[in-house]
Amino acid sequence: MASTFLSRIIGLVRLKYIAWLFGRGMEADAFNAAFVLPDMISYFLVGGAASITFVTILTRYRESDREAEGERSLSVILTTMYLVLGGAILLAEVFAPWYIHWWFSGFDSQKAALCVRLTRILLPAQLFFFAGGVFGAVLLVRKQFTVQAVAPLIYNLGTIVGGLLLVARIGVSSLAVGTVAGAFCGPFLLNAVFAGRAGTRYRPLLDWRDEGLREWVRLSLPLIVGVSLVTADTWIIAHFASSTNGAISLMTYAKQLFTAPMAMLAQAAGAASMPFFASLWNRNRHYEFAVGVADSVSRVSCMGLLAASAMVALAPPLVRLLFIGGRFSLADAGQCAAYFAIFSVSLFLWSAQAIYARAFYAAGNTLLPMLAGTSVTLVSLPIYASLGHWHGATGLALASDAGIALQTVTLALLLHQRRMVSLASLDYAEMGRCLCAGVAGGAVTWLVFTWTGSQLHRLFPAQMRLTDFAVLLAGTALWAALATLTLQKTGSALPRVALKRLGLR
């Protein structure tokens, strides 16, 4: 989580740089929309989860002392998918204009043409992400997590460096070029180098009868055929927001800011827990598996509830401090903060569903979560459409929260019904204490510093950045004091455990 936090800080610098250069203008909308087609191709061809399925396969090979076979399967799968994914990328390069016109029907001709050019630049990066995911699985199986957190840092730096070096020459295309370079140097090259140091050797090899290839296809096919709202949420928002100028950019900034804490809880915890869950399941230690999953869900949900309350309460000064400047205005910050606050409410749900999904994957079951995810996505589409029509971008943010709530509940019920993880095993008492602490700390902080911030801005209009920084610090301190006091008064063990983990008790 600590190293993921560092990489997300660089991610916020990248986000700030993009917002400063292009704000919510045409270039920003086109650049943010250009990621959708490459992401869709990756998702529907490799399941969007190369490392997840490989962790399950390689764990089985490793624990049965068949690592040489696992390495051969890795080479076969990589070679096969290079051909398949490479062919799909070539087709996408050709048909990108038709896709952009269809999916982003609200774009005018100039914005659509720019989006097509940026999409074509970004498409090859999916080869690097896939190969990096495969090599990264080798490290995850060996419980080496540092590279997985550092790789996104290099990826984000690539976008920034590309802009710094080339923006004067080729404009917003510089960000796309830097993004592809970052994907090569970070997710691909870094994972490949360290996997090689761990003893893994790739060689071009095709064998349609390979056991590992067939297992990978079996595990990945459900992920490829279906679609999860966890991934589709961003695509759906972009589709419905395309008719409003600047909406895609503002919602992308808000969502990416939200993913910084979400990655620390959901992605970091999910990535770290996956090999442990897979190992327990493969050794038929199903009771420990169930307890481990329930404990993990309870803990990340508690942290998510607490963090969400602070994020909602302090959203306006946080967004103003991070983004105002260049072509990003005060009015833009107000809208972005509203979207960020709405997204933040669902932080504990995103965290919980990440653990639940990996419980299925660790048990080698990708079909059931695929069916559940596809059903939830289809049911959620009318919610996005209706709320987006009635309330614009704000409605889309609310629909995102409703969709992920449905996704989380569905996965939890399926695990319970299959007697894999009981709902009764969750620590509802501790989650209730954290909810009370979050509401108490967040509500008071919001009431105090909404008024205080507006007064400070009126008194010191030229010092807005300094006053926002002061409000953010004071608000965080007040929230932490109130939340901690509430936790202690309600009998929560969280403050004591946190101090012990930090070495302060």
pLDDT value of residue 279: 83
Q: What is the DSSP string of 40-103?
A: HHHHHHHTT-HHHHHHHHHHHHHHTT-HHHHHHHHHHHHHHHHHHHHHHHHHHHHHHHHHHHHH
6: how many CB neighbours lie within 10 A of its CB? 13
Q: How far is CA 257 from the centre of its chain?
A: 10
Q: Is the dihedral of CA 479, 485, 487, 493 positive or negative?
A: positive
pLDDT value of residue 50: 55
- In terms of DSSP H, where are the helices of 328-366? 330-344, 347-362
- Average pLDDT in the chain: 87
Q: Which of 27, 6, 4, 28 is nearest to 336 (CA)?
A: 28
Residue 325, φ and ψ in degrees, nearest 5: 140, 155
Share of the chain above pLDDT 70, in %: 91
Assess whether pLDDT exceeds 80 at residue 488.
Answer: yes
pLDDT value of residue 502: 59
pLDDT value of residue 269: 67
Q: What angle do CA 88, 90, 92 make, to 5 degrees?
A: 70
CB 262 within 8 A of CB 234: no
Residue 486 token pair: 């509430």
Q: Which of 142, 412, 413, 420 is nearest to 279 (CA)?
A: 142
Q: For residue range 164-194, what is the model confidence (pLDDT) as tens digits?
A: 999 999 999 999 999 999 999 988 998 888 8
pLDDT value of residue 231: 85
The conformation of residue 244, written as its DSSP 8-state character, comes to: S
Assess whether pLDDT exceeds 90 at residue 379.
Answer: yes
pLDDT value of residue 496: 76
Name beta bridge partners: 325.
Answer: 328
pLDDT value of residue 200: 76
Residue 270 token pair: 């999910």
Residue 15 token pair: 């986000």
Prediction pTM value: 0.87
**pLDDT band at residue 268 under the 50/70/90 scheme:** low
Q: How far is CA 191 from the centre of its chain?
A: 19
CB 242 within 8 A of CB 116: no
Q: For residue range 381-403, what is the model confidence (pLDDT) as tens digits?
A: 999 999 999 999 999 999 999 99
476: how many CB neighbours lie within 10 A of its CB? 18
Q: Is the dihedral of CA 23, 27, 29, 32 positive or negative?
A: negative
Q: For residue range 198-222, what is the model confidence (pLDDT) as tens digits?
A: 777 888 888 878 887 787 777 777 6
**pLDDT band at residue 137 under the 50/70/90 scheme:** confident
Assess whether pLDDT exceeds 80 at residue 457.
Answer: no
pLDDT value of residue 96: 97
The conformation of residue 24, written as its DSSP 8-state character, comes to: T
- CA–CA gap between residue 66 and residue 77 (Å, rounded): 17
Q: Which of 345, 128, 154, 278 is nearest to 270 (CA)?
A: 278
**pLDDT band at residue 504 under the 50/70/90 scheme:** low
Assess whether pLDDT exceeds 80 at residue 456.
Answer: no
Q: For residue range 39-87, what is the model confidence (pLDDT) as tens digits?
A: 998 887 765 555 566 666 777 777 777 777 777 887 888 888 889 889 9
Residue type, 242: S
pLDDT value of residue 203: 83
The helix/strand/coil state of 328 is strand
Q: Which of 158-162, 263-267, 348-352 has the lowest mean pLDDT?
A: 263-267
CA separation, residue 168 to residues 85, 122, 268 (Å) = 33, 19, 37
The arithmetic mean of pLDDT across residues 269-277, rounded, is 73
Share of the chain above pLDDT 90, in %: 56
pLDDT value of residue 3: 65
